[in-house]
Amino acid sequence: MEGNIFRTICQSCHTNCGILVHRDPEGSISVEGDPNHPMNRGHCCVKTSAIPEIIRSKDRLQYPLRRTPTGFKRITWDEALSFAAEKLGEIRSKFGPLSLLRCIGAPVSYQCRDGFRQFLGEYGSPNTTGAANLCMVPRMTAFRAVTGGMRAEPDYDQTRLVLFWGTNPLASERFGSYSAYNGFNRIIGRLKERGVKIIGIDPFRTKTVRLADEWLQIQPGSDVALGLAMIHVIIKNSLYDKDFVASYTTGFEELAAHVQSCSPSWAEPLTGISRGTIEDLARTYATTKPAAIYEGNGLDMYANGVESVRTVAILIGLTGNLDVPGGNVFLPFASQSPLPTKPTPMEKRVWYDKFPLFPEVPFTAVKESLLKDEYQRPRAMIVHHSNPVLVQANEARTREALRKLDFIMVTDIFPTSTSEIADLILPMTSDFECYGYRAYSSTEGGFLALARPVEKPAGESRPVFEVEYELAERMGFHQDYPFHGTTSWIDFMIKPSGVTFKQLDEEQIVYATPPVQYRKHVEKGFSTPSGKLEFFSRIFAEKGHSPIPAYADSADEIRDRRALSNKGFPLLGSSRRPGRFVHTRFKNLKSLSKSYPEPLAWIHPQDAAERGIREADTVEITSPYGKIAIKATLTEDTSPGLFWIDFGWGNPTDGKANINVLVNDQFFDPVSGGTANRIFPCEIRKA
Ligand SMILES: Nc1nc2c(c(=O)[nH]1)N[C@H]1C(S)=C(S)[C@@H](COP(=O)(O)OP(=O)(O)OC[C@H]3O[C@@H](n4cnc5c(=O)[nH]c(N)nc54)[C@H](O)[C@@H]3O)O[C@H]1N2
Ligand SMILES: Nc1nc2c(c(=O)[nH]1)N[C@H]1C(S)=C(S)[C@@H](COP(=O)(O)OP(=O)(O)OC[C@H]3O[C@@H](n4cnc5c(=O)[nH]c(N)nc54)[C@H](O)[C@@H]3O)O[C@H]1N2
Ligand code: SF4
Ligand SMILES: [Mo]
């Protein structure tokens, strides 16, 4: 801190920009971007205008609350932790340690990623669940199957072609997974200056698509067909990287045989993209060297998401674009300690037999186990930094499933639809009232940055790691705990990187690895069972999945559009995230909601005209699973028959419609449990 300026990071979304928080003598707060943080280089987004309100909002949870027959009652921290220890202890003795679930949200901060992780291990449960089945982890699972590693990031500053595939980074501020390239906000500008070709693959004309040189308007959920057809063209025309394929891959022969029937003509009716365009795309990607693909969350939320992304990973390898300058690169990342230090074998997870390749318990498995009343179903859930009631498919079934639990404890900073159903609510300090840290990757090296408190905690709110440790202490789980509060958590986590909390506090940004090294496979191979890039996955075959990505349905009912129409659901709905919010957050904050007070349904003028719907009319949207009322707006950024609804409303503090009321949760990705939150059949009527 210099005077009244705090140099810290924003953790409202995954980008984790560097910010400078100013506090004037009267205590009023303003925020600007940190010019010296590599992620954003001084830029900051509209969401930072909400920071003063996040800190001071009167909606903030101020003290622990316990459910009583007549509503929530304020209790002390001592009472809250005794109650939690008593309930969790009782459940552990009666049903065993595997009966506990930890449910976390999108790990926008490491407090979210790590809160109650050690506690779960000490309790003896391997059951972490949350938003993972809908976000990033399906993509990571696909990449791991092919490359043995994490996702490989685009090397934007050296590439000659970028495919933005199922991603809208201009709205999501997400150009990579925690990677910083001298200001993420300047990436597109730099690409344009160098004349790099940009192609967007998206069903909708988004902000990113508008800036692209080409737009492939794909049918939702059909990316696996596009990927397979591209592989077909590349192999048929001998456009693959023969040296790389010969030296570093296995399963090429099987892949070539597998895609023989996947011609562009086969993919045309599935994807809605002409065979000529598919052929051109495959040729352009294979012959423009080097080329990079950034695949996004637009692929996760379908029942075939893992297959789609496996084709993307194969394309990157087949064309020799993996871990080379300007291709998709495994960037350096600071080492961190593993948590929990005492893990329970993952084979003991809920529904491990059905989802052995997924690193967590898909929320889908949690729901089905609860709703089927399985003998060894979960009994207690710690919901930390997450809002499963609103974010998972089919809100009614999610609520019904969670009602089966004997004890739900929720930590949050605001009341939510999930805290409403809790037995115990614990108020947390916000990201701006406690320390935190983040590791970033970049071509210049992996680095760490510190988040620091800029204000005292709201009400009686407390940092999660203190609360977690005290709960562990009350249950006798604390003896081997590697930390007892926030700063000791940071020191423990970053120890393997050689950096300390003190050093981060003094320097704010500390590089912990050397710059990127390309072609690491030449010396080390890949971390797959064969040590090579696997076009054919024996692990997938062993677990009963297709060893090579196969065309699969993206959602249940949408296969037969005519049958759907006959049932009264002629339209397809999808989901959209307005850039000024993050998921279900911020709708209660005036600074952001004033100019965007409610969710909208974005409808093509032709569909609207057929139904007598005009701009700003309230419409009723019905799917086979539920019904919502919402305001309509007309747009030509989609095609007739397909419309968008804004995702993220439905908390008691906003009182608006939740899109996930309309979504099917019983048809899911067989590898990740991912549901098709981005597609559902429906009909719209003027209300
Ligand atoms: N239909 C549809 N469904 C979707 C999506 C979609 O696009 N469409 N997106 C999906 C995706 S990608 C994701 S990642 C998930 C998001 O799923 P979640 O991450 O579960 O959703 P959030 O709304 O971000 O919930 C985070 C909660 O953490 C709280 N919080 C904020 N700061 C703190 C803190 O410091 N401590 C604690 N304890 N709590 C805090 C917030 O108030 C909020 O209630 O939703 C998924 N669901
Ligand atoms: N402002 C803001 N920023 C955020 C978030 C937020 O809520 N608000 N959330 C954060 C989180 S948790 C995540 S996961 C990231 C997501 O960030 P991105 O990975 O960039 O994903 P989205 O922004 O959801 O954009 C996905 C795009 O895929 C398109 N799409 C939908 N279906 C399909 C399909 O079947 N095929 C193809 N090819 N495209 C499809 C959508 O139209 C959309 O344009 O953003 C993060 N950043
Ligand atoms: S909310 Fe905005 S300022 Fe904060 S990390 Fe995300 S992009 Fe950066
Ligand atoms: Mo996400």
- Tell me the per-residue pLDDT of 379-403, one tens digit each, with 9 for 90 and over: 999 999 999 999 999 999 999 999 9
The pLDDT of 623-644, averaged and rounded, is 97
The secondary structure of residue 94, as a DSSP letter, is H
Nearest ligand to the C-alpha atom of residue 677: 1
Reduced DSSP (H G I as helix, E B as strand, rest coil) percent helix, strand, coil of the chain, to 5: 35, 20, 45
The residue written with tokens 């705990």 in the block is 481
Nearest of 66, 678, 674 to residue 424 by alpha carbon: 66
What's the gap between Cα 384 and its chain centre? 16
| Ligand 1, atom 46: closest residue by C-alpha | 391
Our answer on whether the CB atom of 627 is closer than 6 Å to any ligand 2 atom is: no
User: What is the sign, positive or negative, of the torsion defined by CA atoms of 514, 519, 521, 523?
Assistant: negative
Alpha-helical segments (H) within 341-443: 363-371, 388-391, 395-402
- Tell me the per-residue pLDDT of 204-248, one tens digit each, with 9 for 90 and over: 999 999 999 999 999 999 999 999 999 999 999 999 999 999 999
Nearest of 583, 587, 558, 589 to residue 659 by alpha carbon: 583
Our answer on whether the CB atom of 607 is closer than 6 Å to any ligand 2 atom is: no
List Cα–Cα distances, 211 to 169, 192, 637, in angstroms. 11, 9, 14
Q: Give the SS3 label for residue 267.
A: helix
- Tell me the per-residue pLDDT of 495-537, one tens digit each, with 9 for 90 and over: 999 999 999 999 999 999 999 999 999 999 999 999 999 999 9
| Ligand 2, atom 38: closest residue by C-alpha | 166
Strands (E) across 220-272 are located at 249-250
Question: How far is residue 236's CA from residue 233's CA, in Å, rounded to a whole number?
Answer: 5
Q: What is the per-residue pLDDT for 557? A: 76
Query: Residue 150: which pLDDT band, with cuts at 50, 70 and 90?
Result: confident
Q: Which residue has the higher pLDDT, 605 or 560?
A: 605
- Tell me the per-residue pLDDT of 59-101, one tens digit each, with 9 for 90 and over: 999 999 999 999 999 999 999 999 999 999 999 999 999 999 9
Our answer on whether the CB atom of 223 is closer than 6 Å to any ligand 2 atom is: yes
Kind and range of the H or E element at 379? none
CB proximity list for 525: less than 8 A, separation 6 or greater: 248, 531, 532
Question: How far is residue 573's CA from residue 683's CA, in Å, rounded to a whole number?
Answer: 9
Q: Max CA-CA distance within the chain?
A: 71
Q: What is the per-residue pLDDT for 291? A: 98
Strand pairing class (128-130; 153-154): unpaired
Nearest ligand to the C-alpha atom of residue 51: 3
Q: Is the pLDDT of residue 668 over 80?
A: yes
The pLDDT of 262-275, averaged and rounded, is 97
Our answer on whether the CB atom of 582 is closer than 6 Å to any ligand 2 atom is: yes
Beta bridge partners of 214: 199
Tokens of 184: 């993420």
Plot region of 612 (φ>0 → left; ψ -120 to 50 → alpha; else → beta): left
For 640, counting Cβ atoms within 10 Å of its Cβ (0-12 exposed, 13-18 middle, 19+ buried), the class is: middle
What's the gap between Cα 59 and its chain centre? 26
List Cα–Cα distances, 464 to 111, 493, 643, 674, in angstroms. 7, 15, 40, 28
| Ligand 1, atom 23: closest residue by C-alpha | 584
The pLDDT of 407-428, averaged and rounded, is 98
Order of strands across the sheet that contains 509-511: 436-440, 447-451, 509-511
CA of 391 to the centre of ligand 1 (A): 7
| Ligand 2, atom 12: closest residue by C-alpha | 106
Amino acid in position 381: M
CB proximity list for 222: less than 8 A, separation 6 or greater: 267, 270, 271, 272, 554
Query: Residue 293: which pLDDT band, with cuts at 50, 70 and 90?
Result: very high
CB proximity list for 193: less than 8 A, separation 6 or greater: none
The pLDDT of 566-572, averaged and rounded, is 94
Average per-residue pLDDT for the chain: 96
Question: How far is residue 292's CA from residue 213's CA, in Å, rounded to a whole number?
Answer: 15
* Ligand 3 lining (C-beta closer than 6 Å): 10, 12-13, 15-17, 40, 44-45, 47-48, 173
Tokens of 369: 């186990």
Q: Contact 127/162 with Cβ under 8 angstroms? A: no
Domains and CATH numbers, the chain: 5-56 (3.30.200.210), 65-135+335-440+447-511 (3.40.50.740), 137-331+523-542 (3.40.228.10), 556-686 (2.40.40.20)
Tokens of 357: 């390749």
| Ligand 3, atom 2: closest residue by C-alpha | 45
Query: Residue 179: which pLDDT band, with cuts at 50, 70 and 90?
Result: confident
Task: Please provide the distance, in angstroms rounded to a whole number, between the alpha carbons at the two ends of the chain.
Answer: 54
Beta bridge partners of 447: 440, 511
The pLDDT of 365-371, averaged and rounded, is 98
Q: Which atom of ligand 2 is nearest to the CA of 295?
A: 19
- Please give the model's pTM, rounded to 2 decimal places: 0.97
Alpha-helical segments (H) within 319-418: 363-371, 388-391, 395-402
Q: What is the per-residue pLDDT for 669? A: 97
The pLDDT of 651-660, averaged and rounded, is 97
The pLDDT of 193-213, averaged and rounded, is 97
The secondary structure of residue 218, as a DSSP letter, is P
Nearest ligand to the C-alpha atom of residue 575: 1
Question: How far is residue 130's CA from residue 382's CA, in Å, rounded to a whole number?
Answer: 11
Q: What is the per-residue pLDDT for 204? A: 97
Our answer on whether the CB atom of 200 is closer than 6 Å to any ligand 2 atom is: no
Nearest ligand to the C-alpha atom of residue 12: 3
DSSP string, 449-509: EEE--SSPPSTT-B-HHHHHHHHHHHTT--TT-S-SSHHHHHHHHHGGGT--HHHHHHHSE
Backbone phi and psi for residue 360, each to the nearest 5 degrees, phi listed first: -130, 180
Best of 167, 173, 206, 581 to mutate for ligand 2, by most ligand atoms within 8 A of CB? 167
The secondary structure of residue 152, as a DSSP letter, is P
- Tell me the per-residue pLDDT of 433-463, one tens digit each, with 9 for 90 and over: 999 999 999 999 999 999 999 999 999 999 9
- Tell me the per-residue pLDDT of 24-69, one tens digit each, with 9 for 90 and over: 888 899 999 999 999 999 999 999 999 999 999 999 999 999 999 9
Question: How far is residue 337's CA from residue 494's CA, in Å, rounded to a whole number?
Answer: 7
Tokens of 499: 């950096």
Question: How far is residue 512's CA from residue 496's CA, in Å, rounded to a whole number?
Answer: 10
| Ligand 2, atom 30: closest residue by C-alpha | 298
The pLDDT of 461-472, averaged and rounded, is 98
The secondary structure of residue 607, as a DSSP letter, is H
Q: Is the pLDDT of residue 11 over 70?
A: yes
Query: Residue 481: which pLDDT band, with cuts at 50, 70 and 90?
Result: very high
| Ligand 1, atom 1: closest residue by C-alpha | 677
Q: Is the pLDDT of residue 317 over 60?
A: yes
Q: Contact 119/471 with Cβ under 8 angstroms? A: yes
Q: What is the per-residue pLDDT for 3? A: 59
Kind and range of the H or E element at 673? none
Length of the chain in terms of residues written:
687
Our answer on whether the CB atom of 426 is closer than 6 Å to any ligand 1 atom is: no
Alpha-helical segments (H) within 272-382: 275-287, 305-318, 363-371
Q: Is the pLDDT of residue 564 over 90?
A: no
Beta bridge partners of 65: 74, 425
Question: How far is residue 465's CA from residue 471's CA, in Å, rounded to a whole number?
Answer: 10
* CB-side neighbour CA atoms (13 Å) of 540: 24
Query: Residue 580: which pLDDT band, with cuts at 50, 70 and 90?
Result: very high
CA of 298 to the centre of ligand 4 (A): 10
CA of 47 to the centre of ligand 3 (A): 6
The secondary structure of residue 315, as a DSSP letter, is H
Our answer on whether the CB atom of 204 is closer than 6 Å to any ligand 2 atom is: yes
